[in-house]
Structure 1
Amino acid sequence: MVENQSGFRIQSMRSENGKEYNSEEFNKFCEEPGITHQLNAPYTPQQNGVSERRNRYIMEILGMLHEKELLKFFWAKAANTAVFLQNRLPTKALLNKTLFEAWNGFKPSLSFIKVFGCVCFFLVPQVKRDKLDKKALPGIFVGYSSSSKTYKVYNPQTGKMIVSRDAHFTEEEKWNWKDNQLSVKASEEQAFDHWKNELVDDLPIRGTRLLSDIYQQSNMAVCEPAGYDETLQDKKYGETPWSMRC
């Protein structure tokens, strides 16, 4: 795959001095295409510093599992997402470029990036539901698909992994594993913020009010034509002589 995408042939490869890399089968795999297999000293990971540093970087990013209180079951999905994001972040080895741009020759798009582990609602295809079934179900966003432009969503109620293109994300919320439902605290906070930002015209008043007070709060004026010319103009544009203008 590397040779087909880059146009260059692999000349040498370096690995640790483990038994899985010293097997006869692996040595034949390198000898047939003429690849030089380099090994570091036994029990010396410092000689393979680049790979070890990348492994440490991935393990540090796996802290996003605790951010959304996800189970350790999702560690593989988190590692794949960490590598996916790492390839789209700038590095000191390349000036003003990301690894993705250096490999593919164009800048990556970041408009579809979402918070790992957030709650989302994925669309259920019409062929998989009846008329009275729900059109969308809640799930947990666990990564990006490498073979299509879709999201990987885990359905905690069924335990199945869903690949969907149509999903609505609520990046502030997290799944409540204890009750197997959405986080009630997050939902209440979101509802409070919505109420706080809501524009309230006036408080409800019981009883009766004067008609003049209602006109002052309705942002509407009822105007009578001042003369014969204005009446003809109203009829020309399909308006009645008593014009209601906002």
Structure 2
Amino acid sequence: MVHSDRGGEFLSKDFTNFLEKEGIVRRLIVHNTPEHNGMAECVHRTIFNTVRTLLAESSLPPFLWGEAHNHAVYVYNHSPRSFLQFKTPFEARYGVRPNCTFLRPWGTCVLVKMDATSKLAARAIEGRYVGYDFMSNGVRVYWPERHSITVERTVIYLTNDIIVG
């Protein structure tokens, strides 16, 4: 059974056909009553509170909310839950504890190694860590001066002006 708030993404013909094909019952709630969606709304609230906190703590621009959201969801899905006997959702699904040793605080300053153009040119430039790229095992770096994000391989994380990795 799926409960939804009559949002357009839940009323499309493709989604309706998928539900029917899979034998899933749809229950629609009245608009502006998120309390009727119970746990889903609680999770959404938790995730978006985390997104707001990540953006505020890092002082990065609000348009990076999608990157913060991806990071928040990853951390949420890899954190223990009391209703899972203090296992993570990942562990409940796959039977092994997740490896989160590569995670760093979102928005951390990083130095990205660059190919030097001359002997005296800088060997690294500063960016901001906005997540791990699971498609390539790289690091997603936001470049404030360019307002863009790239995936990088060789980074050094800076926390409180101390190199940590």
The alpha carbon displacement at 1:19 in A equals 4.4
Secondary structure of the equivalent of 2:83? coil
Cα distance in 2 for residues equivalent to 1:88 and 1:24: 33
Structure exhibiting the larger radius of gyration computed from Cα positions: 1
Aligned partners of 1:121 and 1:137 also within 8 Å: yes
Aligned partner of 1:209 in structure 2 is: none
Which amino acid letter does the alignment assign opposite residue 82 of structure 1?
A: A
Secondary structure of the equivalent of 2:85? coil
The alpha carbon displacement at 1:131 in A equals 4.4
Unaligned residue ranges in structure 1 (runs of 5+): 1-11, 174-189, 191-246
The alpha carbon displacement at 1:41 in A equals 4.1
Aligned pair partner of 1:70 in 60, 79, 88: 60
1:117 aligns with 2:107: yes
The alpha carbon displacement at 1:61 in A equals 1.1
CA pair 68-33 structure 1, distance change in 2 beyond 3 A: closer
The alpha carbon displacement at 1:134 in A equals 3.3
Cα distance in 2 for residues equivalent to 1:146 and 1:120: 18
Aligned pair partner of 2:144 in 110, 133, 156: 156
Cα distance in 2 for residues equivalent to 1:164 and 1:150: 6
1:108 aligns with 2:98: yes
1:37 aligns with 2:23: no
Q: 1:46-57 maps to which residues of 2 (within 5 A)?
A: 46-57=35-46
Q: 1:207-222 maps to which residues of 2 (within 5 A)?
A: none
Secondary structure of the equivalent of 1:93? helix
Bigger relative contact order, structure 1 or 2 (CA pairs below 8 A, ≥6 apart): 2
TM-score scaled by length of structure 2: 0.83
Cα distance in 2 for residues equivalent to 1:111 and 1:154: 21
Tell me the number of residue pairs that the alignment of Structure 1 and Structure 2 aligns. 160
1:98-125 CA-to-partner distances (Å, cap 9, x unmatched) read 111112221111221211111101122x
TM-score scaled by length of structure 1: 0.58
Aligned pair partner of 2:88 in 92, 98, 110: 98
